[in-house]
Amino acid sequence: MKSVNKFVLIMLIAFTAMAVLAGCKSSPKPAPGISLASTAKVETVEHKGTALGVKDIPPWLSEYIQRNGVRSVEALPAYKDMYVIVGTANGPTLQQVDTWAKNFDAQQQIGATIHTRVASVFKAHESLLPDDDTAHRRYDNAINTLVTASYTGARQESDWWIHQKITEKGKDPETRYTSYVLYTIDKKILDNQIRNEIIKLKEDNPELNAAFDAVTTQLLERGLEWD
């Protein structure tokens, strides 16, 4: 009787183990996650306001770094009705990035900003063009003309620098200075200057001119748009 009970017990244990193993096999394995953990330690040693007892970076820089770039800066009340341009540079010394900030080429950056923003406006109206390769080429080249044109009205609002120490296991510590410079230009001033540049591009081609007029109208109504 004891041997029968022992046999039943062994069989129960065996069936239980098989059920557990079967359950393990049928359960899908979780997909491996992507780790974004950094092995480097980044320490802010000082910044432009440290010597003056300022602990926080300016609101415009905080918005630019931590949120959505220049669009977040433009959303601040202080920069209402302004286009914002932020330039950045890294270097091993403060003198290097400070010199860069003082010699920042705002004109070149304005051109890059216009290229980024105006492309979608031109794209939206290219259906108005005639079925003519020359017209299409002139329309496409218009963007390059706008980028290389000279614009006035940009002014430097602020600049800031941050000194950081980067330490990573097995490597020598790295010292890095990052400089930020903020320029603004009144939206109406820049929009009108772009409009005047577009007018110069018009020729004796009604369909091509209609496309340019559509771009100008949207520009004056809604300003430059993003891609």
112-135 pLDDT per residue, tens: 888 888 888 888 888 888 888 888
> Quick one: pLDDT at residue 108?
85
| Element at 83 (helix H, strand E) | strand 82-91
Estimate the crossing angle of helix 133-148 against helix 106-124, to 10 degrees: 150
Would you say the pTM of this structure is higher than 0.85? no
d(CA 60, CA 69): 9
38-222 has which CATH code? 3.10.129
- The SS3 of residue 90 is strand
> Quick one: pLDDT at residue 89?
93
